[in-house]
Amino acid sequence: MIDTKQIPSPYQNQTDSGSIIVIVATDAPLIPVQCRRLARRATVGLARVGGVGADSSGDLFLAFATGNHVPAGSKRLYDLAMLPHDFMTPLFSATAEATEEAILNALCGAEDMTGFRGNTAYALPQSELAGIMKKRFW
């Protein structure tokens, strides 16, 4: 764990609050209930990097699919395709993995930043993260 003894926090009091918005997009032919199921799996990716949510967090997980092409302004019935529900597991796994990777990419892409009232937020030390990830996965 990388704690505030290694990387100082810009905040006087550490809180477990914070929010995240995850948008999952796929070109699979999904219907709305399947998109809701897919969005819920983003929490798995968040948990893999240590996020568990907090009482005051406002986490949002949304998913949309572009696999059905609905003609604009159509006044007649059209057919929709739908992936069978029991074929969803690979999409669930991909959603968790993509969410985890997106969070790690955002953390690794951050740079030191000084903001309001001179508070400095320091970049995540990537060598420390690599060591933690190595212990966790290998």
pLDDT per residue as tens digits for the range 3-26: 777 777 776 666 666 789 999 999
Which one is catalytic: 17, 19, 56, 93?
A: 19
45-59, pLDDT tens digit by residue? 999 988 888 877 889
Mean pLDDT of the 126-137 span: 79
The whole-chain average pLDDT of the chain stands at 88
- What are the residues facing 60 on neighbouring strands? 21
Helix (H) or strand (E) holding 21: strand 21-26
74 has catalytic annotation: no
Is the domain 21-69+86-111 a CATH 3.30.2330 member? yes
89-105, pLDDT tens digit by residue? 999 999 999 999 999 89
Are the CB atoms for 117 and 40 separated by under 8 Å?
no
Nearest to 112 by CA among 103, 102, 100, 121: 121
127 has catalytic annotation: no
Question: What is the distance between the alpha carbons of residues 108 and 37, in angstroms, rounded to a whole number?
Answer: 29
57 has catalytic annotation: yes
- Grade residue 27 by pLDDT with cuts at 50, 70 and 90: very high
DSSP letter at 28? S
